[in-house]
Structure 1
Amino acid sequence: MSSLSALSGPRIKAPSGSGQPYETIGIDRLTPVIGAEISGVDLAAPGNHQMAEIHRALAEHLVIFFRDQRMTQEQHLAFGRTFGELHLHPAAPHEPGHPELMIIKADENSLRANGEGWHSDVSCDEEPPMGSILYIRECPPAGGDTLFANMYAAYDALSDRMKAYLEGLTAEHSGEHVYRGMYAKEGVADRPSYPRAEHPVVRTHPVTGRKALYVNRGFTTRILGIPRDESDGILGYLYQHMENPLFQCRFRWQPNSVAFWDNRCTQHRAMWDYWPHRRYGNRVTVKGERPV
């Protein structure tokens, strides 16, 4: 069965959920497959029950969004820590005194923007991040959207033959070609070494137990144990497949908006279509576990 014929049938699955209503937050789904806008919560001081429902919403919708938030740097960090220990980016600039608070910035002097190609954050780490919480304070009047894609749905839509082929395969992920020189204008020097890791091509989510594709254009360099030309062909097919719009949602930023995505089962792409306007914010990233 071809990828397109699989997509036209019932093999695209919406995120599985408990079916129970939410009591303390509002949910407005962006698509049936991925993404939900959350209302009725102040991330600067969420209640305990709200936090439990935010955890659940993230598992059910993969990426969740919040509008009209007002968080200090300390509150942003505190919100991230409720999900686990925070991750330190191997190369990106950070706010003074806060190494866990990554700077996300693009303006008229930028040659490129953070995350402009499809990727899963820092998949080159031995233990890639569990998730990322991006708080945008300034955004362009138009453009600068971020796209998110559901890697559960991408895996589910593969043919059974392709799933069998990918079972047990491992891929190399490297950060050097991504990070070397990327942040020089922000005063971050090249590093003597960059992270590199080997991860399964298909990983199992530690919370939901669902399988997701775990290769991406940003960091994956090759599939191990097969010839290079075969690796290039399989990766090229998987990239094209997983970037199908039917797996995606698109978020239009407004000032003081927050996006929180599960890095283990999504990929994202930031559109760099707003030059010479400015986009500025901070990202807090939560540590994850070694993919299996």
Structure 2
Amino acid sequence: MTLDLPARPRTATTPADGLLEGPRVLRRLPEGVEERPYELFTLRPLGRVIGAEVEGVDLGASSTPRLRAELNRALLEWKVLFFRDQDLTPRQQRAFARHWGELETNPFIARGDSDEVVRFSRGAATPGFENIWHTDVTWRPEPALGSVLRLIEVPPTGGDTMSADMAAAYDNLPADVRERIDGHTAVHDFVPGFARFADPELLAAHQDRFPPVEHPVVRVHPETGRRTLFVNQAFTTRIVGLEEAESDRLLRYLFLQAHTPEYQVRFHWTPGAVAFWDNRATQHYAVNDYLPHARVAERVAIVGDRPYGLNLEP
């Protein structure tokens, strides 16, 4: 006996069809770029397109331009790098990140030992709200280039960080969806992302300083040239030029792309571990499964540039 199952609709804008079965294009490197070995450290891949552990680098020691160039190549090629068994001080963490540019400040998250360090102290009394797929500070005109995160207190179980490759997400969008979003911009606003846990007076005080901004829905990476899907559930509110219902439907579909396991890597923290991610090419998600234990982390973010998209000048 055979079952005559109705065909499932494949309209790209149907949110329920956001995650389709079957093979996917999993291209880690930009077109035309060949695989090359790393000479100054050992790199152990954790995923097919995103995520690798770097062994043989002391982040607290002084580095050479050659080492920094090779680490930058690894960051561009793997999107997020992990370093275990580091004994970084906050000052060393800042010094390492500054090799990639000036550091940001963030008025909405508690600071660490300086204005450039934000501290995430999560536990039974202060549960985390970072368990949503997001790209850091896209509500800024110039979102962060990248972030360096170190855990100070690691819970005995749980507390992993997941990252998603948004270039792979774009590569696998149906052709009709790519045609619809290429060249469009979307509005990014800090209020929806922080309203869940920040003081309303604090939010109101910064609305003039950080008004909503527009960024391309499809960002061209300034170093690799790859097209990346640049909308996220925490801060993107609407696509410019579309009716509200159509914008909401399309954004829900695009948000779902980060949920695809083939585009993800999951990192289990150990004492002394550090993560460094390319904020221009990824989204991340802090898994909130460790309560009542504590998870304490400090992050520095590197100032980025103004995103540009297809048919738009950098």
With the shorter chain as reference, the TM-score category is: over 0.9
Between the two proteins, the alignment pairs up a number of residues equal to 287
| Structure 1 residue 70, shift from structure 2 partner | 0.7
Name structure 1 gaps, 5 residues minimum.
none
Q: Deviations over 1:51-93 (max 9, x none)?
A: 2211111000000000010111111111111000111113111
Match of 1:275 among 291, 297, 300: 291
Listed as ranges, the matches of 1:258-273 within 5 Å are 258-273=274-289
Instruction: Please name the residue that 2:188 is paired with.
Output: 173
Matching of residue 216 in structure 1 with residue 232 in structure 2: yes
Measured on the aligned residues, the alpha-carbon RMSD in Å equals 1.9
Which amino acid letter does the alignment assign opposite residue 28 of structure 2? A
Instruction: Please name the residue that 1:116 is paired with.
Output: 131
Instruction: Please name the residue that 2:117 is paired with.
Output: 101
| Alpha-carbon distance change, 179 to 291 in structure 1, aligned in 2, over 3 angstroms | same
Match of 2:305 among 279, 286, 289: 289
Distance 1:22 1:246 in 2: 25
Name structure 2 gaps, 5 residues minimum.
1-9, 309-314
Distance 2:89 2:145 in 1: 22
Q: Deviations over 1:186-209 (max 9, x none)?
A: xx9445123321101000000000
Structure 1 stretches of 4+ with a deviation exceeding 4 A read 1-7, 188-191
Partner-residue secondary structure (3-state), 2:206: coil
Instruction: Please name the residue that 2:96 is paired with.
Output: 79
Instruction: Please name the residue that 1:157 is paired with.
Output: 172
Instruction: Please name the residue that 2:143 is paired with.
Output: 128
| Alpha-carbon distance change, 18 to 78 in structure 1, aligned in 2, over 3 angstroms | farther
Listed as ranges, the matches of 1:172-251 within 5 Å are 172-180=187-195, 182-184=197-199, 189-194=202-207, 195=210, 196-251=212-267
Distance 1:210 1:160 in 2: 16
User: Larger strand proportion, structure 1 or 2?
Assistant: 1
Listed as ranges, the matches of 1:31-50 within 5 Å are 31-48=47-64, 49-50=66-67
Which amino acid letter does the alignment assign opposite residue 225 of structure 2? G
Which amino acid letter does the alignment assign opposite residue 85 of structure 1? E
Instruction: Please name the residue that 1:65 is paired with.
Output: 82
Largest Rg, 1 or 2: 2
| Alpha-carbon distance change, 4 to 128 in structure 1, aligned in 2, over 3 angstroms | closer
| Contact 1:120 1:216 survives alignment (8 Å) | yes
Distance 1:62 1:8 in 2: 24
